[in-house]
Amino acid sequence: MQFLTPLFLTGLLAIAIPLWFHLIRKEHALRIPFSSLMYVPPKEIKLVRRQQLRQWPLFLLRLLLVVVLVLAFSRPYWKRFSGTWSSSSLARVVLLDNSFSMRAGNRWSTARTMAEREIRSAPRGSEITLAVVSDRVDILSEPGEPAEALLAKLKQVQPSYRATRLDQGIQMAGDVLKQSRMGNREIVLVSDFQKNGLHFSSWNIPEGIGLRALSVPSVVDNLFIEDVQAPAEIYQGTAERQVTGSPASAVEPARPEDFVVRIQNAGGSDIQDIPVELRLDDHLIQSQRVTIRAKSSRSIHFRAPDLPDKPLMRFAASAGVPDALPEDNQFFFTVHRREKIPVVLSAEGPALLFLREAMNSPGVPWDLKTDLSAALLKKARVLILHDPASIPSYVSDWVSNGGSLLIFSGARSGEGLKSTLLPVTPHGSRILRRERDEPLSLADIQWQHPAFQVFADQQKRYFSGVHFYGYTEAQAKADGKVLARLKSDSPALVEGKFGRGDVLWFASSASNDWNDFALRPAFLPFVQNIVGYLSGARRESASLRVGDRIDLTLWGSSGVAVIDPKGQRLAVPEDRQFVEAQQPGFYEVRYSRLTDYIGVNIPAAESNLESEPVQQIQARAQSAQAAAAEVSAASLEHRQSWWRFLLLFVVLVMLGEWMLADLFYGKNSPIAR
């Protein structure tokens, strides 16, 4: 017998308690008041130094109670049981890599044969679990299902188009095996062990669980289209364009030829004179023949075609070369043609300069006017007011009929602006002294709101340096939604409804008199995202990758249908506002009797087929786990769980001790008292 927590064996010293009670503790004579001892004959009392042991059964029962209780807390287990358990019971998770790289050559058929062999070779009574892993994990069976059922499910599994993340599958398999009471537990990982998907630092193999790596044939040579740089949107009168995939402020001069196809040759030999084609709505419009050297990439420039007068154009770039993975020789993307959105700006002084520069940045879809009038406002979709002393009635009517209003507060509006369309009740301006007082910053920001969503990944970087020295103290109305606060707990950005229109109120100005916001990098994307949100402008990407989510809220809150590249209508649960892209090609989005398209492509890193040798995989696995040949002490003790039976025995002993003590002493004995 061995013990998991042998330190508790020191509790055996507690056997001194029943020894003291039965052998050392003296009994004291009971004094009873009596009227007279005249007629009571005297009797000599023999004094003893210690108690004589008279209740042997009770004494032994109490010793047994202490010993059993100490053993239970010491967590005993028998090492000799481990060999019997390991040879007669097996829990195995067959983890099959079904990422896109497994489509290369005959990898998939070989991998399924290996998985089938692992299922068939398990001893009768084993717990076998079948699972597939890419950048997500799908458990296909429950432990203990018959081998025939597992083999039937294995035949139905197909490789996906998703990226590789083997660490997630190992984590899942470890969690499954930790729940098993079998003596032998192992993960069998069948994969190509693509280097881009290993993530060794995240491997977490629980102690006592083994891992065997089975590698499929190596395929290295592959050519693929890594990316296409093209304008996602084209606006009338745009002199410059925004680069696809860049932040809102990253622009470069427009060039007609800037349809750039980037191709990578991941193989070890040059590829000569291959055709690279650019298609528009399935029609070939341009083609080039190029040579790409081994282990290198090349950017191919296509002159932008004469685009048809259509709101949406579907493009596809392709490389005509037969290789291991023909699916990644294509790249799908879209270009939208949109009319600029009319926006009216009413501001003065530095605020006019800052806001106009932010709104006139290259690539933005705004047609900005700076003269506020009732006639001009009728054609506008968004109105920006900076520090208004009052709001004209025609502005309130315009908002009530569906217009969108953005208000920056200031010295005039902070003191006396009263309007029913405001989502707040102003209480006056608060000015801090820059030389003496500590400036305020934004807090409690709702990062998922479109106004701040662009900053969600790097929150502190953008707003930690923005300082506010002046602001309008206010209280949000009951229907006002606070999107951000100042450190003083006063609302900083509040959203509200007025009639059929939307109103956003900002507690400080857009100039540098009350803050330094306009001088910080966050100001430009902040203004553009707010105006884009109020105008309803969609800023969807030209293309996505398999595994990305398609945000359906861009096309409305309801009544949106999605058709995948194979023509299958996808079921969208009512409680979800997105679907995951599972295949490369064009996804069709139907909304309000209109149709939009989104290009979806293979994850670029998945097309590089360079693999890690299986010997190195096994070596790294052993460094991340305990030896699989021997069940750990903690695992063995957990399975045997003798302490549970010992605690049950303790309860029975305590019950017997109580009954025996009552029999010896009785309820009215001096000792019982």
Calculate what percentage of the chain has a pLDDT beyond 70: 82
> Angle formed by the axes of helices 147-156 and 107-120, to 10°?
170
CA 192 and chain centroid, separation:
26
Q: What is the mean pLDDT of residues 180-202?
A: 85
DSSP states of 374-436: HHHHHH-SEEEEES-S---HHHHHHHHTT-EEEEE--HHHHHH---TT-SEEEEEEEE--TTT
**Residue 36, CA distances (Å) to 39, 41, 44, 110, 337 in order:** 8, 12, 19, 107, 122
- At 468 the pLDDT is 94
Tell which wins on pLDDT, 447 or 246: 447
Residue 387 to residue 469: CA distance in whole angstroms = 16
Confidence of residue 333 (pLDDT cuts 50, 70, 90): very high
pLDDT digits 0-9 by tens, 341-391? 899 999 999 999 999 998 887 667 788 999 899 999 998 999 999 999 889
pLDDT at 34 over 70: no
Q: What is the DSSP letter of 515?
A: B
Q: Which residues pair with 461 in a beta bridge?
A: none
Residue 145, φ and ψ in degrees, nearest 5? -65, 150
Q: Which residue has the tokens 């606070």?
A: 482
pLDDT interval class at 262 (50, 70, 90): very high
Phi and psi dihedrals of 236, rounded to 5? Answer: -65, 130
Report whether pLDDT(452) > 50. Answer: yes
Helical (H) or strand (E) element with 259: strand 259-265
pTM of the model: 0.61
Whether 423 and 406 have beta carbons less than 8 Å apart is answered as no
Helix then strand then coil, % of the chain, to nearest 5: 30, 30, 40
Question: Is it the case that residue 629 has pLDDT exceeding 60?
Answer: no
Query: What is the model's pLDDT at position 542?
Result: 65
- Residues 425, 437: contact at Cβ < 8 Å? no
What does the DSSP assignment read for 221-232?
A: --EEEEEEE--S
Predicted local confidence at residue 343, as pLDDT: 93
pLDDT greater at residue 667 or residue 216? 216
Q: H or E element: which one contains 241?
A: strand 240-242
Please give the residue that has the higher pLDDT: either 600 or 552: 600
- The count of C-alpha atoms lying within 13 angstroms of the C-alpha of 63, restricted to the half-sphere facing its C-beta, is 10
Residue 672: per-residue pLDDT: 41
**More confident: 439 or 181:** 439
pLDDT at position 97: 95
The DSSP symbol for 24 reads: I
C-alpha dist (Å) from residue 331 to 312, 558, 605:
17, 30, 14
Q: Look up tokens 């429950």; give the residue.
A: 142
Virtual torsion, Cα 29, 33, 35, 37, nearest 10 deg: 10
Percentage, residues of the chain above pLDDT 90: 37
pLDDT at 80: 54
Query: How many C-beta atoms surround the C-beta of residue 383 within 10 A?
Result: 24
In this predicted structure, what is the pLDDT of residue 63? 78
- Looking at residues 220-239, what average pLDDT do you find? 77
298 near 263, Cβ under 8 Å? Answer: yes
**Which tokens go with 268?**
């070890």
Mean pLDDT value of segment 218-224 = 83
